[in-house]
A and B are shown apart, each in its own frame.
Chain A
Amino acid sequence: MPLTPHGRTDSNGRSDSNGRGGAVGLSVVGTGEEPDEGNAGTSSAETEAEAGAEAGAEAEAESGTETGAGAGAGSGDPPADAGELERVLAELLAFLRRRITGDYTVDEHGFDVDLTEHVVAPLLRPIYRSYFRVETRGLENIPDRGGALVVSNHSGTLPLDALMTALAVLDHHPAHRHLRMLAADLVFAVPFLAPLARKTGNTLACHADAERLLGAGHLVGVWPEGFKGIGKPFSERYKLQRFGRGGFVSAALRSGAPIIPCTVVGAEEIYPMVGNARTLARVLGLPYVPITPTFPWLGLLGLLPLPSKWIIEFGEPVDTSQYTAAAAEDPMLVFELNDRIRETIQHTLYGLLMQRRSVFF
């Protein structure tokens, strides 16, 4: 297939021109890490400093600032643009002050933009760029403004695919939109996960929340396979599960928001789930407890995902503005659209898998 690599560089070039962080490395397929080094270096230094900052914010004001600043200055990198460094540190200080004094706003869903943009996204960015070397295509299918519903396949035991999709849109879409994700209620019952989920833009996957977000003109992400998709055994990889009851379709119909199918390749291989500790899962009240070749055998080390190479492709939007809100009450239409979107994603999956040379490159 001589066309494949060519096609890839093409789409890379496009996603790069959109890129905010200037991910130069992605244009060279397979050796993405080397030219990326300089960038990755700065971003991880930032991340460290900010991670320290967040810890500091939680614990103690002044000492936290000092260690955070110290870490940032200590790992100051070769280009050493002093003005730049000063700007970064000043921003860091301002961020810390906001966190300590509570001077930030969260929206009614609990979304904390300040925390998401300054702590969570910088932490995920190196994973996105250097670890999974995510290649994002079709971002032009996401509108710059207004409500839209991104519907994606779900896989990988832990929902890293959702995080990477959100980061792809935030970093590489020209409008830098936040993807507001719809999550299962289990997420909001788990300590530590629950507040983090809300702060990073998740809300409960229910009609009321989906329609409220779409109506307010947000970009909403939904993974209709749910636990059936993310917790499926490795042997069933890239086989789409049932797409729920089509709730997302009726939400989109009611709000007149376009549906954008999204296909993620690579996330299936990060934690190959070869078994499921059912009894333990039942005791813990979880939908599944994965057994992978490394987990739980290697303990915490087993939690390290395999560094597969990812492709995220946003497909052509399905326009729903031609239907009236009453269409949402027509189960036939809802099922039909549901199946159509599922088929689209499944076909894109097969296509991308054909193009993929190997799992890891």
Chain B
Amino acid sequence: MRPRRVLVTGVSRPLGAEMALALAADPEIVDVVGVDTIAPAEDLGRTQFVRVDIRNPLIAKVISTAAIDTVLHLSVLATPLGAGGRAAMKEINVIGTMQLLAACQKAPGVRKLVVKSTTSIYGSSPRDPALFTEEMEPRGFPGGGYAKDAVEVEGYVRGFGRRRPDIAVTVLRLANVLGPGVDSPLARYLDLPVVPTVLGFDPRIQLLHAEDAMAVLMKATREDHAGTFNVAGDGVLLLSQAIRRAGRPPLPIPFPAIGSLGNIARRLRLVDFSSEQLGFLAHGRAVDTTKLKEVFGYVPRYSTVATFDSFVHDRELRFTIDHELVERVEHGLRGLLAGHRPAGTSR
């Protein structure tokens, strides 16, 4: 089914705004309605912006008045920094989703629901398999934060899917998104001049380029692909390797101390170091994207490594350890070696 009238939640955030713009540029789409609690910072084209909190039943009215047929739910927040605290974040994520789903259930015109979820619902534990497929249950249940919200959101979405089997529900579990305009906890973390790591651990991380995230959400909106899909760039990076590629010095901190340091960082609004992210920094996580490629039919253009390199390039990260200098030193030493060769043979 081709979407005609699309509702985008969380439209004032970078990803939502970009999605709304891209949908508005499509002449086949009659209406794009964007909702959020705060006004969008940028121009959204012909998107009609409605300032409404999805926690408010008013959302039902928006859906019925605009005769929405496709709902793109993007307002599950990853960090409390922009929401004004963890409690508010949980409200927006969980209660907001419940209200939105309740409104969709009552709206006969809605045919499709696309939900942005996260791979962090798989948690991070030493008992994790190397790659999670969509059917696998998390080994260690996420204890709090974004991951726990996302688990609850997905639970409500599954319940909704059972009650309205006529609606095509697509759940996209995105890996950590990095891109030019993305401000995520991971981006802020990797942007620190000295990167704190968990002493004695080196997690595997997987990244998704913002362009690929956009493309996948777009494809899910335009076409019908009911189901749950992991979305991530190919391959993995070790955190230590990522830090080296960014030319940063790592700062290994023992596990007990890193928690309190995280609290201080959160107070200072530097980075969000919640317990779930600590688990990620110790054990990492990677997912299997076979289903995305073979069933959904999308192959990410950027691998994890390419995503990271373009992130480093776009942000113009100041290299604390200059790669060119390292290469020059290597060349210099090799030259020195070659120079010494005659002496070596005469010996």
Query: Which residues of A are in contact with B by a Cβ distance under 8 Å?
Result: 61-62, 65-66, 69, 80, 82-83, 85-86, 89-90, 93-94, 96-97, 99-110, 112, 185-192, 194-195, 198-199, 203-204, 206, 208-209, 212
Contacts of A96 in B (CB 8 A): 330
A86 touches B344 (CB 8 A): yes
A100 partner, pick from B236, B321, B341, beta carbons under 8 A: B321
- Is B130's CB under 8 angstroms from A108's CB? yes
The reply to whether the CB of B326 lies closer than 8 angstroms to some CB of chain A is yes
Contact call B133/A208, Cβ cutoff below 8 A: yes
Residues of A within 8 A of B129 (CB): 204, 206, 208-209
Which A residues are CB-close (under 8 A) to B329? 61-62, 65
Closest Cβ of chain A to B49, distance in Å, is 42
A81 to chain B minimum Cβ distance, whole angstroms, is 9
Closest chain-A Cβ to B278's Cβ sits at a distance in Å of: 13
Query: How far apart are the CA atoms of A349 and B298 in the complex, in Å?
Result: 52
Q: Separation in Å of the A49 CB from the closest CB of chain B?
A: 13
Known: A110-B236, A204-B128. A86 touches B199 (CB 8 A): no
Given contact pairs A86-B338, A106-B238, A195-B201, A99 touches B244 in the complex (Cβ within 8 A): yes
Listed residue (A86, A103, A195) with the most chain B CB atoms within 10 angstroms of its CB: A195
**Chain A residues whose C-beta falls within 8 Å of the C-beta of B326 in the assembled complex:** 61, 97, 100-101
- Which residues in B have their C-beta under 8 angstroms from that of A189? 126
Cβ of B337 < 8 Å from any Cβ of A? Answer: yes
Which residues does chain B contribute within 8 Å of A93, judged by CB atoms? 330, 333-334
Evaluate contact between B323 and A101: CB separation under 8 angstroms.
yes
12 A-B pairs whose Cβ atoms sit less than 8 Å apart in the complex: A93-B334, A100-B326, A102-B242, A109-B130, A188-B126, A195-B202, A198-B204, A204-B128, A204-B130, A208-B129, A208-B130, A209-B130
B305 touches A105 (CB 8 A): yes
Which A residues touch B325, using CB under 8 A? 61
Contact check, B235 vs A108: say whether CB atoms are below 8 A apart: yes
Residues of B within 8 A of A204 (CB): 127-130
Those of B223-269 within 8 Å (CB) of chain A:
235-238, 240-247, 255
Residue of A nearest to B323 (CB): A101
The interface residues of chain B lying within 8 Å CB-to-CB of A69 are 333
- Give the chain B neighbours of A65 by CB distance below 8 A: 329-330, 333
CA distance A209 to B283 in the complex (A): 16
Query: For the complex, what is the distance from the CA of A86 to the CA of B338, rounded to whole Å?
Result: 8
Query: With the chains together, A68 CA to B10 CA distance in Å?
Result: 54
Nearest chain B CB to A226 CB, angstrom units: 15
A108 and B128 contacting across the interface, CB-CB below 8 Å:
no
Q: What chain B residues lie within 8 Å of A94 (beta carbons)?
A: 330
- Contact partners of A191 in chain B: CB under 8 A: 199-201, 255
Could you mark each residue 172-208 of chain B with 1 if its beta carbon is under 8 Å from any beta carbon of chain A, else 0?
A: 0000000000000000000000000001111010000
Residue B327 at the chain A interface, CB threshold 8 Å: yes
A82:B283 contact, CB within 8 angstroms: no
**Shortest distance from the beta carbon of B123 to any chain A beta carbon, whole Å:** 14
Q: Chain B residues near A86: list those with CB within 8 A.
A: 337-338, 341, 344
Assess whether B136 is interfacial by the CB under 8 Å rule.
yes
A208 to B286, CA, bound (A): 13
Q: Which residues of chain B are near A203, meaning CB under 8 Å? A: 130
A80-B344, A108-B131 given as contacts; is B201 within 8 A of A102 (CB)?
no
Within 8 A of A (CB), among B78-115: none
Do B347 and A106 have beta carbons less than 8 Å apart? Answer: no
Q: Check: B65 CB closer than 8 A to any chain A CB.
A: no
B-side contacts of A104, CB under 8 Å: 241
Give complex CA distance A106, B304 in Å. Answer: 11
**Contact residues of B between 329 and 347, Cβ < 8 Å to A:** 329-330, 333-334, 337-338, 341, 344-345, 347
Compute how far the CA of A194 lies from the CA of B198 in the bound complex, rounded to whole angstroms.
12
Additional A-B contact list (8), CB under 8 Å, known A61-B326, A82-B344, A108-B204: A65-B329, A93-B330, A106-B237, A109-B130, A190-B200, A195-B201, A195-B240, A198-B202
Specify which chain A residues have a CB less than 8 angstroms from the CB of B345 in the assembled complex: 82
Q: Which residues of A contact B236 (CB under 8 A)?
A: 106-108, 110
User: Which residue in chain B gives the minimum CB-CB distance to A106?
Assistant: B238
* Contact of A188 with B127 in the complex, beta carbons under 8 Å: yes
The answer to whether residues A208 and B136 also contact, given A86-B338, A89-B337, A189-B126 and a CB cut-off of 8 A, is yes
Which of B129, B237, B245, B321 has most chain A Cβ within 10 Å? B129
Known: A97-B326, A194-B201. A102 touches B241 (CB 8 A): yes
Q: How far is the CA of A100 from the CA of B345 in the complex (A)?
A: 31
CA of A257 to CA of B90, assembled, Å: 48
Q: Specify which chain B residues have a CB less than 8 angstroms from the CB of A209 in the assembled complex.
A: 129-130
Instruction: Find chain A residues with CB under 8 A from B244 CB.
Output: 99-102
In the complex, which residues of chain B have a beta carbon less than 8 angstroms from the beta carbon of A190? 200
Among residues of A, the one whose C-beta sits closest to the C-beta of B239 is A195
A97 touching B238, Cβ below 8 Å: no
By a CB distance below 8 angstroms, the chain A residues around B237 are 106
Q: Which residues of chain B are within 8 angstroms of A83 by Cβ–Cβ distance?
A: 341
B residues near A192, Cβ cutoff 8 Å: 200
* A99, closest chain B residue (CB): B244
Report the minimal beta-carbon distance from B340 to chain A, rounded to whole angstroms.
8
Complex: how many Å from CA A83 to CA B334?
13
Interface positions of B from 35 to 62, Cβ below 8 Å from A: none
- Asked, given contacts A93-B334, A204-B127, A206-B129, whether A110 binds B347 with beta carbons under 8 Å apart, the answer is no
Q: How far does the alpha carbon of A189 sit from the alpha carbon of B283 in the complex, in Å? A: 8
Q: Mark B315-331, 1 if CB is under 8 A from A, else 0.
A: 00000010101110110
Residue of B nearest to A57 (CB): B244
Given A102-B245, A108-B235, A61 contacting B126 (CB threshold 8 A): no
A212 to B333, CA, bound (A): 43
A110 and B204 in contact, given A85-B344, A90-B337, A102-B244 (Cβ under 8 angstroms): yes
Are A102 and B128 closer than 8 Å at their CB atoms? no
| Bound form: Cα–Cα A105–B234 in Å | 12
> How far is it, in angstroms, between the C-alpha of A80 and the C-alpha of B345 when the chains are bound?
9
